[in-house]
Amino acid sequence: MRGRFIIYGLAGWCIEIFWTGLGSLISGDPKLQGWTYIWMFPIYGLAIFLEPIHNRIRNWPVILRGGAYTLLIFLAEYSTGWLLKTVMGVCPWNYSGTPYEIDGLIRLDFAPAWFAAGILFEKLHDLLMGYKVLKRV
């Protein structure tokens, strides 16, 4: 379990760096600078808790599975952002003033990205479960 938590955290970091680098490209930055926050590693690692959900809903149609992951990811993003804001006084990401934001903690227009991330998570989960050493850790 610990090994998969680490892999999910690292995968999340990589995807976020790619995503923000893509945003740099769209805004005209030829350096394609991407970034993330140290706090995101354990937050992305929380995907470990999606594993039992994936096992229960794996036979659902993809639109329902992706929708479920989208809602769960929004819930995790909002609650971890709220917790960091409450404890530290600031959340590393701040969507205030952007379209479709809720309390500056989530952006509803990111739903397609979270949908895709949830489906990618399924593939990574199945891949990891194929390696016996990662089943035990």
Instruction: Quickly list H helices, 27-131.
Output: 40-45, 51-57, 62-88, 111-129
- Pair 40, 96: CB distance under 8 Å: no
**Over residues 78-82, mean pLDDT:** 98
The owner of tokens 């998969």 is 4
Band of pLDDT at residue 102, cut at 50, 70 and 90: very high
How much is the pLDDT for 80?
98
The answer, yes or no, to whether residue 132 has pLDDT greater than 80, is no
The answer, yes or no, to whether residue 38 has pLDDT greater than 70, is yes
**Over residues 66-92, mean pLDDT:** 97
- Pair 89, 81: CB distance under 8 Å: no
The answer, yes or no, to whether residue 13 has pLDDT greater than 60, is yes
Summarised one tens digit per residue, pLDDT across range 53-69 is: 999 999 999 999 999 99
Question: b vs e for 103-120, b when ≥16 Cβ sit within 10 Å of the residue's Cβ?
Answer: eebbbeebbeebbebbee
The answer, yes or no, to whether residue 127 has pLDDT greater than 90, is yes
The answer, yes or no, to whether residue 32 has pLDDT greater than 80, is yes
Q: Where are the domains of the chain?
A: 2-136
Q: Report which of 66, 70, 50 is spatially closest to residue 5, judged by C-alpha positions.
A: 50
How much is the pLDDT for 1?
85
How much is the pLDDT for 52?
97
